[in-house]
């Protein structure tokens, strides 16, 4: 059974619902970057939109846009990944609870606060009775959602799936995570970063929906060939996992045209990738995406998107190469791209994309 990525739509720091980042990416100028909002009227009536939280609004827009692109009306499954859920409504309910000492609480905020609000609002809008689920597992929430869809498509239980990554960042949550050094909040300088002179990362929010299906279409971006998730592997086990996935798919490391890594500019995060580069990907060009889309619990979804879009376009834009010298050397049309993601060196994932 082959599984294809049919279409992708996103709302992020980059121009929304667009692939303009391939040609001219927005360069972040602050460590707390807000998403660019699309014209929601195209998807949701202003009346409906007023009642909705930001995240649900974004999720609906990207979901409807990505379904529209591929001419699909009803997916067999709706699966979302969200590390933090609907933070805006959660904070509103929590603040009222504390301020009002558990009295006169807004039921709407509570209703909208659960993580599964996102998938269920999409289902409600589409009147979709199919499989519906939500993953909330830190930086591999999206990877888990994709894994679920991958398993069910492989088993033939479903033919199409709408898989999303939706996470928002509020000023309060940003502040709290900053205290944990979750992001380094210095000024952002791409060149210094590449030279490893500075530890910086930018916070983003994300809403990305993609449609997977078992049938190839004209609009197909690429094939989702295989994937694997693992926990606290250590470098040797990571190497084993990479070898296993290649072997399983009759590929060798030479067949991999590029590896997309979740490099963010934060040395604590990036060291794992540097080590992988040295051990497993010595001669494989490294691509990155968090410089464009920021760090968020759903960031890995952009890694898969960037890889898939390069396979569709048949080329890799220069600005995606982490090492500029690799960009100059790279001439060919990519056929196989690996996406490697980890969260705090605990949860890791490998995703193999093929033209």
Among 36, 116, 192, 217, binds other proteins (CB under 8 A): 116
For other proteins, the binding residue among 43, 135, 293, 321 (CB under 8 A) is 135
First to last CA, the chain: 15
Instruction: State the Cα–Cα distance between residues 138 and 329, nearest whole angstrom.
Output: 36
Burial of 247 (0-12, 13-18, 19+ CB in 10 A): exposed
Site string for other proteins, 175-204 (x = CB under 8 A): xxx-xx------------------------
User: Binder to other proteins among 32, 49, 72, 120 (CB under 8 A)?
Assistant: 120
Cα separation, 36 vs 56, whole angstroms: 15
In the shown chain, the binding pattern of residues 264 to 303 toward other proteins, with x for contact by CB under 8 A and - for none, equals: ---------------------------------x------
Among 42, 151, 186, 279, binds other proteins (CB under 8 A): 151
Q: Which of 36, 154, 170, 192 binds other proteins (CB under 8 A)?
A: 154
For other proteins, the closer CB: 148 or 223: 148
> What b-and-e string marks burial along 48-84, b requiring 16 or more CB atoms within 10 Å of the CB?
ebeebbbbbbbbbbbbbbbbeebebeebbbbbbbbbb
Among 121, 238, 296, 354, binds other proteins (CB under 8 A): 121
Closer to other proteins by CB, 139 or 265: give it: 139
Residue 172 interacts with other proteins (CB under 8 A): yes or no: yes
For the CB of residue 337, give the shortest distance to other proteins in the complex, in Å.
22
Q: How far is the CB of 132 from other proteins (least distance, A)?
A: 4
CA-CA distance, 91 to 94, in Å (whole number)?
Answer: 5
Pick the stretch among 18-26, 27-35, 90-98, 288-296 that binds other proteins (CB under 8 A): 90-98
- Among 259, 271, 269, smallest CA distance to 201 is for 269
Residues 6+ positions from 349 with CB-CB distance below 8 Å: 140, 143, 147, 227, 228, 229, 230, 300, 339, 340, 341, 342
* Residue 214 binding other proteins, by CB under 8 A: no
> Judged by CB under 8 A, which of 102, 191, 218, 325 binds other proteins?
102
Distances (CA, A) of 192 to 105, 169, 187, 241, 293: 48, 26, 11, 32, 18
> Which sign does the torsion angle of CA 253, 254, 255, 257 carry?
positive
| Of residues 21 and 135, the one with the C-beta less far from other proteins | 135
User: Least Å distance between CB 194 and other proteins?
Assistant: 29
Listed residue (295, 273, 78) closest to 173, CA to CA: 295
Instruction: Give the nearest distance from C-beta 287 to other proteins in angstroms.
Output: 25
To the nearest 10°, report the CA torsion of 211, 254, 294, 172: 90
Question: For the CA atoms of 267, 315, 312, 253, what is the dihedral angle to 10 degrees?
Answer: -60
Is residue 347 close enough to count as binding other proteins by CB under 8 A? yes
What count of other Cβ atoms lies within 10 Å of the Cβ of residue 205?
Answer: 28
Alpha-carbon distance of 57 to 121, in angstroms, equals: 9
Buried b (16+ CB within 10 A) or exposed e, 177-190: eeeeebbbbeebee
Binding mask 227-256 for other proteins (x = CB under 8 A): -xxxxx------------------------
Q: Which stretch binds other proteins (CB under 8 A): 16-24, 40-48, 122-130, 328-336?
A: 122-130
**Which CB atom, from 134 or from 291, has the smaller least distance to other proteins?**
134
Q: Under the rule (CB under 8 A), what is the footprint of other proteins?
A: 78, 82-85, 93-94, 97-98, 101-102, 105-107, 110-117, 119-121, 123-124, 126-141, 144, 147-148, 151-152, 154-155, 157, 172, 175-177, 179-180, 228-232, 297, 346-347
């Amino acid at each position: 059974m082959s599984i294809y990525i049919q279409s992708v739509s996103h709302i992020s720091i980059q121009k929304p619902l667009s692939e303009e980042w391939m040609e001219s990416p927005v360069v972040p100028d602050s460590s707390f970057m807000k998403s660019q909002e699309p014209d929601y009227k195209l998807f949701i009536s202003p009346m409906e939109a007023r009642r909705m939280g930001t995240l649900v609004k974004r999720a609906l827009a990207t979901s409807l846009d990505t379904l529209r692109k591929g001419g699909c009306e009803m997916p067999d499954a709706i699966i979302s990944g969200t590390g933090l859920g609907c933070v805006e409504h959660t904070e509103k309910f929590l603040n009222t609870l504390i301020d009002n000492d558990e009295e006169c609480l807004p039921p709407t905020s509570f209703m909208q606060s659960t993580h599964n609000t996102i998938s269920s609002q999409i289902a409600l809008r589409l009147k979709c009775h199919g499989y519906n689920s939500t993953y909330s597992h830190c930086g591999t929430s999206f990877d888990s959602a994709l894994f679920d869809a991958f398993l069910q498509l492989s088993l033939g239980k479903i033919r199409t799936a709408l898989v999303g990554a939706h996470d928002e960042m509020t000023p309060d949550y940003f502040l709290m995570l900053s205290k944990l050094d979750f992001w380094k909040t210095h000024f952002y300088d791409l060149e210094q970063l590449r030279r490893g002179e500075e530890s910086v990362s930018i916070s983003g929010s994300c809403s990305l929906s993609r449609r997977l299906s078992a049938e190839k279409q004209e609009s197909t971006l690429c094939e989702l060939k295989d994937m694997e998730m693992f926990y606290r592997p250590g470098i040797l086990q990571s190497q084993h996992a990479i070898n296993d996935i290649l072997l399983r798919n009759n590929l060798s490391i030479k067949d991999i045209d590029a590896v997309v890594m979740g490099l963010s500019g934060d040395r604590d995060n990036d060291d794992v990738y540097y080590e992988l580069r040295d051990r497993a990907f010595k001669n494989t060009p490294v691509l990155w995406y968090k410089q464009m889309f920021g760090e968020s619990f759903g960031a890995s979804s952009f890694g898969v998107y960037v890889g898939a879009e390069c396979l569709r376009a048949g080329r890799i834009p220069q600005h995606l190469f982490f090492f500029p010298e690799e960009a100059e050397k790279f001439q060919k049309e990519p056929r196989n791209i690996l996406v490697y993601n980890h969260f705090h060196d605990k949860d890791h994932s490998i995703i193999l994309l093929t033209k």
